[in-house]
Protein backbone atom coordinates (compact mmCIF):
# COMPACT_ATOMS: atom_id res chain seq x y z
CA UNK A 1 0.00 0.00 0.00
CA UNK A 2 2.84 2.38 0.86
CA UNK A 3 4.42 1.67 -2.53
CA UNK A 4 1.20 2.73 -4.27
CA UNK A 5 0.98 5.85 -2.09
CA UNK A 6 4.47 6.96 -3.08
CA UNK A 7 4.43 5.97 -6.73
CA UNK A 8 2.10 7.16 -9.50
CA UNK A 9 1.46 3.71 -10.91
CA UNK A 10 -2.32 3.99 -10.62
CA UNK A 11 -2.25 7.33 -12.41
CA UNK A 12 -0.15 5.88 -15.25
CA UNK A 13 -2.53 2.92 -15.61
CA UNK A 14 -5.49 5.30 -15.62
CA UNK A 15 -4.06 7.56 -18.31
CA UNK A 16 -3.13 4.63 -20.57
CA UNK A 17 -6.58 3.10 -20.06
CA UNK A 18 -8.30 6.37 -21.04
CA UNK A 19 -6.27 6.71 -24.23
CA UNK A 20 -6.86 3.08 -25.24
CA UNK A 21 -10.53 3.27 -24.29
CA UNK A 22 -10.99 6.19 -26.67
CA UNK A 23 -9.23 4.47 -29.55
CA UNK A 24 -10.56 0.90 -29.17
CA UNK A 25 -14.15 -0.17 -30.01
CA UNK A 26 -16.61 1.60 -27.73
CA UNK A 27 -19.84 0.36 -29.29
CA UNK A 28 -20.46 -2.96 -31.00
CA UNK A 29 -23.43 -3.04 -33.38
CA UNK A 30 -24.57 -6.51 -34.38
CA UNK A 31 -26.61 -7.00 -37.54
CA UNK A 32 -29.59 -9.27 -38.02
CA UNK A 33 -27.51 -11.48 -40.33
CA UNK A 34 -24.78 -12.18 -37.79
CA UNK A 35 -22.19 -9.53 -38.69
CA UNK A 36 -21.00 -6.80 -36.37
CA UNK A 37 -19.58 -3.32 -36.62
CA UNK A 38 -17.35 -1.63 -34.04
CA UNK A 39 -17.50 2.10 -33.37
CA UNK A 40 -14.64 3.97 -31.71
CA UNK A 41 -15.30 6.95 -29.49
CA UNK A 42 -12.47 8.76 -31.27
CA UNK A 43 -14.65 9.48 -34.31
CA UNK A 44 -16.92 11.65 -32.14
CA UNK A 45 -16.08 15.01 -30.61
CA UNK A 46 -16.48 13.54 -27.13
CA UNK A 47 -13.56 11.21 -27.80
CA UNK A 48 -11.28 14.02 -28.89
CA UNK A 49 -12.19 16.07 -25.81
CA UNK A 50 -11.49 13.05 -23.57
CA UNK A 51 -8.00 12.67 -25.10
CA UNK A 52 -7.34 16.40 -24.55
CA UNK A 53 -8.48 16.15 -20.91
CA UNK A 54 -6.31 13.06 -20.42
CA UNK A 55 -3.25 14.94 -21.68
CA UNK A 56 -4.01 17.81 -19.30
CA UNK A 57 -4.37 15.29 -16.48
CA UNK A 58 -1.00 13.74 -17.33
CA UNK A 59 0.62 17.18 -17.24
CA UNK A 60 -0.81 17.83 -13.78
CA UNK A 61 0.23 14.46 -12.36
CA UNK A 62 3.68 14.17 -13.96
CA UNK A 63 4.63 17.86 -13.97
CA UNK A 64 8.01 17.13 -12.35
CA UNK A 65 8.97 14.79 -15.21
CA UNK A 66 7.77 17.35 -17.75
CA UNK A 67 9.92 20.01 -16.13
CA UNK A 68 12.93 17.67 -16.09
CA UNK A 69 12.75 16.16 -19.57
CA UNK A 70 10.83 18.84 -21.51
CA UNK A 71 12.05 22.12 -19.97
CA UNK A 72 10.84 24.10 -23.01
CA UNK A 73 7.25 23.31 -22.07
CA UNK A 74 7.71 24.29 -18.42
CA UNK A 75 8.94 27.77 -19.40
CA UNK A 76 5.66 28.69 -21.10
CA UNK A 77 2.93 30.48 -19.17
CA UNK A 78 0.72 27.37 -19.11
CA UNK A 79 3.67 25.20 -18.14
CA UNK A 80 4.51 27.47 -15.20
CA UNK A 81 0.92 27.31 -13.93
CA UNK A 82 0.91 23.51 -14.19
CA UNK A 83 4.29 23.28 -12.42
CA UNK A 84 2.90 25.29 -9.50
CA UNK A 85 0.11 22.78 -8.93
CA UNK A 86 1.12 20.64 -5.93
CA UNK A 87 -2.24 19.23 -4.81
CA UNK A 88 -2.84 15.81 -6.42
CA UNK A 89 -6.61 16.27 -6.06
CA UNK A 90 -6.52 18.87 -8.85
CA UNK A 91 -6.39 15.92 -11.26
CA UNK A 92 -9.95 15.10 -10.18
CA UNK A 93 -11.26 18.00 -12.27
CA UNK A 94 -10.39 16.59 -15.73
CA UNK A 95 -11.21 13.07 -14.50
CA UNK A 96 -14.75 14.10 -13.49
CA UNK A 97 -15.18 15.87 -16.83
CA UNK A 98 -14.18 12.66 -18.63
CA UNK A 99 -16.73 10.66 -16.61
CA UNK A 100 -19.39 13.23 -17.50
CA UNK A 101 -18.61 12.95 -21.21
CA UNK A 102 -18.83 9.15 -21.10
CA UNK A 103 -22.23 9.32 -19.41
CA UNK A 104 -23.39 12.02 -21.82
CA UNK A 105 -22.34 9.92 -24.82
CA UNK A 106 -24.15 6.84 -23.49
CA UNK A 107 -27.44 8.60 -22.78
CA UNK A 108 -29.04 8.43 -26.30
CA UNK A 109 -28.35 4.71 -26.77
CA UNK A 110 -30.63 1.90 -25.73
CA UNK A 111 -28.38 -0.91 -24.53
CA UNK A 112 -31.28 -3.21 -23.81
CA UNK A 113 -31.22 -4.09 -27.49
CA UNK A 114 -29.48 -7.35 -28.34
CA UNK A 115 -27.97 -5.66 -31.40
CA UNK A 116 -26.12 -2.94 -29.50
CA UNK A 117 -23.56 -3.47 -26.78
CA UNK A 118 -20.54 -1.87 -25.15
CA UNK A 119 -17.10 -2.73 -26.44
CA UNK A 120 -13.78 -3.00 -24.63
CA UNK A 121 -13.24 0.74 -24.99
CA UNK A 122 -16.15 1.49 -22.65
CA UNK A 123 -14.74 -0.71 -19.88
CA UNK A 124 -11.21 0.65 -20.31
CA UNK A 125 -12.53 4.20 -19.94
CA UNK A 126 -14.15 3.38 -16.60
CA UNK A 127 -11.05 1.52 -15.41
CA UNK A 128 -9.03 4.64 -16.20
CA UNK A 129 -11.48 6.92 -14.41
CA UNK A 130 -11.52 4.73 -11.28
CA UNK A 131 -7.70 4.48 -11.19
CA UNK A 132 -7.28 8.25 -11.47
CA UNK A 133 -9.87 8.93 -8.75
CA UNK A 134 -8.18 6.48 -6.36
CA UNK A 135 -4.77 8.00 -7.16
CA UNK A 136 -6.00 11.51 -6.35
CA UNK A 137 -7.07 10.43 -2.86
CA UNK A 138 -4.24 8.10 -1.81
CA UNK A 139 -1.15 9.55 -3.52
CA UNK A 140 1.28 11.12 -1.08
CA UNK A 141 4.43 12.76 -2.36
CA UNK A 142 7.46 11.89 -0.27
CA UNK A 143 10.34 14.31 0.01
CA UNK A 144 13.35 12.22 -1.01
CA UNK A 145 15.69 14.37 1.10
CA UNK A 146 13.66 13.70 4.23
CA UNK A 147 13.47 10.00 3.41
CA UNK A 148 17.24 9.72 3.01
CA UNK A 149 17.82 11.63 6.24
CA UNK A 150 15.39 9.38 8.09
CA UNK A 151 17.11 6.28 6.70
CA UNK A 152 20.49 7.58 7.82
CA UNK A 153 19.18 8.27 11.31
CA UNK A 154 17.78 4.73 11.54
CA UNK A 155 21.24 3.28 10.80
CA UNK A 156 22.89 5.22 13.66
CA UNK A 157 22.98 3.56 17.09
CA UNK A 158 21.86 5.54 20.18
CA UNK A 159 25.44 5.68 21.43
CA UNK A 160 26.70 7.02 18.08
CA UNK A 161 23.88 9.52 17.97
CA UNK A 162 24.78 10.73 21.47
CA UNK A 163 28.46 11.04 20.60
CA UNK A 164 27.71 12.90 17.37
CA UNK A 165 25.03 15.27 18.63
CA UNK A 166 24.41 15.43 22.38
CA UNK A 167 27.94 15.12 23.75
CA UNK A 168 29.52 17.98 21.74
CA UNK A 169 26.62 20.27 22.60
CA UNK A 170 26.83 19.51 26.34
CA UNK A 171 30.60 19.91 26.40
CA UNK A 172 30.34 23.23 24.64
CA UNK A 173 27.71 24.36 27.15
CA UNK A 174 29.91 23.57 30.15
CA UNK A 175 32.96 25.12 28.51
CA UNK A 176 31.06 28.35 28.05
CA UNK A 177 29.93 28.29 31.70
CA UNK A 178 33.47 27.77 33.05
CA UNK A 179 32.63 24.45 34.80
CA UNK A 180 35.43 21.85 34.62
CA UNK A 181 33.45 18.76 33.71
CA UNK A 182 33.53 16.00 31.13
CA UNK A 183 31.18 13.24 29.99
CA UNK A 184 31.50 9.50 29.78
CA UNK A 185 31.62 8.52 26.07
CA UNK A 186 29.81 5.26 26.88
CA UNK A 187 26.72 6.42 28.79
CA UNK A 188 26.95 10.22 28.75
CA UNK A 189 27.18 10.58 32.53
CA UNK A 190 28.73 13.84 33.76
CA UNK A 191 31.94 13.35 35.77
CA UNK A 192 34.77 15.54 37.06
CA UNK A 193 37.51 16.56 34.68
CA UNK A 194 40.09 14.54 36.68
CA UNK A 195 38.02 11.32 36.86
CA UNK A 196 39.44 8.24 35.15
CA UNK A 197 36.37 6.04 35.52
CA UNK A 198 32.63 6.56 35.16
CA UNK A 199 30.91 5.85 38.48
CA UNK A 200 27.66 4.96 36.65
CA UNK A 201 28.76 2.39 34.04
CA UNK A 202 32.35 1.67 35.12
CA UNK A 203 33.84 2.72 31.78
CA UNK A 204 37.51 3.69 32.07
CA UNK A 205 38.96 6.66 30.19
Q: What is the pLDDT of residue 143?
A: 44
Mean pLDDT in order along the chain per 10 residues (205 residues)? 72 94 90 77 92 89 77 66 67 90 85 78 94 86 46 51 54 54 80 80 80
| Nearest Cα residue to 193 out of 171, 164, 167 | 171
Count of domains in the chain? 2
pTM (two decimals): 0.61
DSSP state, residue 85: -
Of 110, 144, 178, the last residue of a domain is: 144
User: Does 118 reside within a domain?
Assistant: yes
Of 92, 122, 144, the last residue of a domain is: 144
| Nearest Cα residue to 54 out of 94, 82, 90, 20 | 94
Q: What is the CATH number of the domain that holds 131?
A: 1.20.140
Distance in angstroms between the alpha carbons of the first and the last residue of the chain: 50
Q: What is the pLDDT of residue 116?
A: 81
User: Does 121 reside within a domain?
Assistant: yes
Q: What is the pLDDT of residue 130?
A: 94
Same domain, 63 and 131: yes
Determine the structural domain holding residue 173 and report its residue range: 158-205
- Distance between CA atoms of residues 128 and 10, nearest Å: 9
Same domain, 137 and 95: yes
- Distance between CA atoms of residues 89 and 136, nearest Å: 5
Alpha carbon 29 to its chain centroid, in Å, reads 40
User: Does 136 reside within a domain?
Assistant: yes
Q: What is the pLDDT of residue 24?
A: 94
Same domain, 106 and 133: yes
Q: What is the pLDDT of residue 149?
A: 46
Amino acid sequence: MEFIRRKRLLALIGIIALILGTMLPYLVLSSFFGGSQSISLWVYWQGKVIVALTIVNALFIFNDYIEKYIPQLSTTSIGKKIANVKNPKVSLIPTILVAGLVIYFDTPFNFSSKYLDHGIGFYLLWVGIICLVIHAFIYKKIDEGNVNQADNNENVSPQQNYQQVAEPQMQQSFQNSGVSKKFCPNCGNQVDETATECFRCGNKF
